[in-house]
Amino acid sequence: MPDPTSGKDEYSTIIGADAQFKGDLTFQGGVRIDGQLEGTVHTTGRILVNKGGKLKAEVKAGSIAVEGQVDGNLHADDRIELRATAQLRGDLKAAKLLVVEGATFIGRCEVGTPSPGSGTASPSGDSRPAGAAAASQAPRPVAAMPAR
Amino acid sequence: MAHRRTLCTQCDDVLDVASDAKSVNCPHCNTRVVTEPLDVSEYVAVRRFATANRMHITKKGKVFASVRADDLHVEGFLHGDAVSLTRLRLSKTAHVTGNVRAAFLSLEPGATLVGEVRIGPSEVPELGRLAPPGRSASSEG
């Protein structure tokens, strides 16, 4: 019975560990990157940047998993996973994000945001603007007063 | 009485505090530092909200402030910058808007996070002050 997690079944394209590529890549299926890549990568499928992989690229994919080094912006339609050995320097935008402890991430993050214009509406429907609340409200009692 | 080491939330200098102390006066900057764990289940709107201990913003919590804690767990709403010296954990019901900085980030699918993010032990240099020379500072979460 084939192993559903094997790289061969999930990733139709594999960029090997000794490969260095510079340019724009477009795929239809999954891509596993074990080597070095510079440029842009587009796919509707899944991208895995393996432990030894080094990416200096703009990445746009269905879903992205990072175990290696990425210097560039990631944009996923579904989800982005930063695993324990991931090092990401760049912006990140996805519907869902999974970050495992140990991952390094420096950049801007936009995850799980609803449609533009909903702003910072609170879950309970409080319509008080955040800026006004912070400037004018005295704190209600909590477990301990904050240090001033 | 058990003591623990932590950092002043104002000047980042090392403090040795009793484990059950609720607050102390920092001898270096003379600021009152909250040292007890905080569970926030209400609406809080201040400029800065800090504790030299763990902070938990529960599902009902709604915080409009810059927060700082040794360990931060968010299940509710946070609008403001967040600094955690060790772990920053966002549960699936968390909604965070602001810049975050922590040694480790754990984010469940479903959480909302919008802002500048700086995650990694090197992004929290204050942590190095807690470790005695020759020992790792990040051995405990």
> How far apart (Å, rounded) are the C-alpha atoms in residues A121 and A88?
29
Q: What is the pLDDT of residue A112?
A: 84
- Taking only the tens place, the pLDDT of each residue in B5-52 is 999 999 999 999 999 999 999 999 999 999 999 999 999 999 999 999
A127 belongs to a structural domain: no
Q: Which of A79, A113, A137 is nearest residue B109 as measured by Cβ atoms?
A: A79
**B55 and B34 Cβ atoms separated by less than 8 Å:** no
Interchain contact, B93 vs A109, CB within 8 Å: no
> How far apart (Å, rounded) are the C-alpha atoms in residues B105 and A110?
15
Instruction: For residue B60, give the nearest of B76, B44, B80 by alpha carbon.
Output: B76
pLDDT tier, A116 (very low <50, low <70, confident <90, very high otherwise): very low
> How far apart (Å, rounded) are the C-alpha atoms in residues A32 and A8?
10
A97 belongs to a structural domain: yes
> How far apart (Å, rounded) are the C-alpha atoms in residues B141 and B139?
7
Q: What is the pLDDT of residue A104?
A: 93
A62 belongs to a structural domain: yes
> How far apart (Å, rounded) are the C-alpha atoms in residues A46 and A60?
10
Contacts 24+ apart (CB under 8 A), A72-77: A73/A107, A77/A44
Average pLDDT of span B127-133? 72
pLDDT tier, A9 (very low <50, low <70, confident <90, very high otherwise): low
On whether the pTM is more than 0.80, the answer is no
pLDDT tier, B134 (very low <50, low <70, confident <90, very high otherwise): low
- Which ipTM score applies to this complex? 0.78
CB < 8 Å from A in window 40-99 of B = 40, 42-51, 62, 64-65, 76-77, 79-80, 87, 93, 95, 97
> How far apart (Å, rounded) are the C-alpha atoms in residues A121 and A12?
42
A80 belongs to a structural domain: yes
**Domain of residue A89, residue span:** 7-107
Residue A3: strand, helix, or coil: coil
Contacts of A133 in chain B (CB under 8 A): 45, 64
Instruction: For residue A104, give the nearest of A90, A116, A118 by alpha carbon.
Output: A90
Residue B52: strand, helix, or coil: coil
A18 belongs to a structural domain: yes
Contacts of A148 in chain B (CB under 8 A): 32, 48
A37 belongs to a structural domain: yes
A21 belongs to a structural domain: yes
Residue of A nearest to B121 (CA): A104
Residue of A nearest to B116 (CA): A108
Q: Which of A92, A112, A133 is nearest residue B45 as measured by Cβ atoms?
A: A133
> How far apart (Å, rounded) are the C-alpha atoms in residues B49 and A24?
46
Residue of B nearest to A119 (CA): B97
> How far apart (Å, rounded) are the C-alpha atoms in residues A30 and A22?
19
Angle at A84 between CA A79 and CA A88, to 5 degrees: 65
Contacts of B115 in chain A (CB under 8 A): 108-109
- Taking only the tens place, the pLDDT of each residue in B44-103 is 999 999 999 999 999 999 999 999 999 999 999 999 999 999 999 999 999 999 999 999
A123 belongs to a structural domain: no
Q: Which of A99, A120, A126 is nearest residue B107 as measured by Cβ atoms?
A: A99
Average pLDDT of span A116-131? 39
Q: How many domains does chain A have?
A: 1
